[in-house]
Structure 1
Amino acid sequence: MYERYAGLIFDMDGTILDTEPTHRKAWHEVLGRYGIRFDEQSIIALNGSPTWRIAEAIIALNQADLDPHALAREKTDAVKIMLLDSVQPLPLIDVVKAWHGRRPMSVGTGSESAVAEALLAHLGLRHYFSAVVAADHVQHHKPAPDTFLLCAERMGVDPAKCIVFEDADFGLQAAASAGMDVVDVRLL
C-alpha cells in the first residue's frame, strides 16, 4: 500500500503512541496548582502544537499572569514522569514494524525532543526511526511544514516522495504544506 513512497513519517502523540490521556492528566495536575482549568476541546484543537503554545492559549483563556514557557516546562516535567509508566503503542505501530528496513522512517512531533526520545527508547521503538524531529528542532511548528520537511531531509528523501501519518488538524495542514501525502489516522 505504501510502496510508492520513499519515506514514511509518523506523528507521535495520538498516532503511534497513546499519550493523549496522559498529556491531559498532566495539564490538569499542573494547572490545578494555579487554580486554572482548561477546555479539553480547545486543547484538542491545538494537538500537534508545542507545549508552550498550548500554555499560551490556556493562559490567555484564563487571563492568568503566568509565563507560558515556565508553565510548559512544569507540564513537560509532570508528563515525563507519568508517560514512562502509562504509555503504550497504538495499533499503527504495526505499520512501523512492517516497513522497518524497507523504507527510512522518522517521527515528526510537537513534543520536546527529550520527551520523544525518552518515550521511544523506553518502549523499545527508537531503533525503527532514522530521525526524530521534535518541537525544539524547528522554529516554525505545525501547521507550518518545517517539522516534516526536516524529517525528509534527515531521511535523505525528497519531500514529494514521503507519506505522513497524523491525527491532528495542524499536522494534516503541515503535511499538505510540505507537499507530502498524508493519512488521517483518525479515519482508519
Structure 2
Amino acid sequence: MYDRYDGLIFDMDGTILDTEPTHRKAWHEVLRRYDMCFDEASVIALNGSPTWRIAQHIIHQHQANLDPHELAEEKTALVKMMLLDSVQPLPLIEVVKSWYGRRPMSVGTGSESVVAEALLTHLNLRRYFDAVVAADHIQHPKPAPDTFLRCAELMSVAPQKCVVFEDADFGLQAARDAGMDAIDVRLL
C-alpha cells in the first residue's frame, strides 16, 4: 500500500504509542500542585505541540505567573516516569514492523527527545527507526513543517517521496506544508 513512498514518517504520541491518557494524567498531577486545571478539549486541540506550548496555553488561561518552560520540564519529568510503566504500542506499529528494512523510517514527534528516546528504547522499538526528531531538535515545531522536513533529510529522502502518519491536526498541517502526503490515523 505504501510502495510508492521512499520514506515513512510516524508521529509518536497517539499514532504508534498509546501515550495520551498518561500525558493527561501527568498534566492533572502537575497542575494540581499550582491549584490549576486544564480544559481537556483545548489541550487535545494542541496535540502535536511541544509541551512548553501547551504549558503556555494553560498558564495564559489561568493568568498565572509561571514560566512555561519550567512547567513543561516538570510535566516532562513526571510523564517520563509514568509512561515507562504504562505505555503500550498502538496497532499501527504493525505497519512499522512490516516495512522495517524495506524503507527508511523515522519518528517526528512533538514530545521532547528524552521522552521519545526513553519510550522507544523501553519498548524495543527504537531499532526500527533511522531517526527520531523531537520538539527540542528543531526551532519551529508542528504545525510548522520543520519536524518532518528534518526527518526526510535524516533519511536522505525527498519530502515529496515521504508519507506521514499522524493523529493530530497540527501534525497533518505540518506534513502538508512539508509537501508530504499525510494519513490521518484517526480515520483508519
Q: Same fold (TM over 0.5)?
A: yes
Matched, 1:22 2:22: yes
- Report what 1:77 is aligned to: 77
**Runs (5+) with no aligned partner, structure 1:** none
In the aligned structure 2, how far is the partner of 1:130 from the partner of 1:67? 34
Question: Does residue 114 of the first structure (1) align with residue 117 of the second (2)?
Answer: no
Indicate the residue corresponding to 2:135 in structure 1: 135
TM-score (norm 2): 1.00
Say if 2:46 is the partner of 1:46: yes
Name structure 2 gaps, 5 residues minimum. none
Deviation sequence 1:76-97 (CA, Å, 0-9, x none): 0000000000000000000000
Runs of 4+ in 1 over 6 A off after TM superposition: none
Q: CA deviation at 1:121?
A: 0.2
- Tell me the CA shift for residue 98 of structure 1: 0.3
* Deviation at residue 116 of structure 1 after TM alignment: 0.2
1:39 CA drift (Å): 0.2
Where do residues 27-176 of structure 1 align in structure 2 (5 Å cutoff)?
A: 27-176=27-176
Cα distance in 2 for residues equivalent to 1:163 and 1:93: 15
The residue identity in structure 2 corresponding to 1:100 is: Y
Q: Which residue of 2 aligns with 1:12?
A: 12
Shift of 1:176: 0.1
CA distance in 2, matches of 1:106, 1:70: 28
Task: Give the distance between the partners of 2:53 and 2:161, measured in 1 at CA.
Answer: 30
**CA shift for structure 1 position 154:** 0.1
Amino acid at match of 1:154: L
Structure 2 CA distance for aligned equivalents of residues 105 and 66 of structure 1: 38
SS of corresponding position for 1:95? helix
Q: What TM-score do the two structures reach when normalised by structure 1?
A: 1.00
Write out per-residue CA displacement over residues 94-121 of structure 1, whole angstroms, 9 at most, x where no aligned residue: 0000000000000000000010000000
Cα RMSD between the aligned structures? 0.3
- How far, CA to CA, are the matches of 2:74 and 2:143 in structure 1? 24
Letter in 2 for 1:174: A
The alpha-carbon deviation at position 174 of structure 1 amounts to: 0.1
Structure 1 position 6, deviation (Å): 0.0
Deviation by residue 1:20-48 (Cα, 9 ceiling, x = unmatched): 00000000000000000100000000000
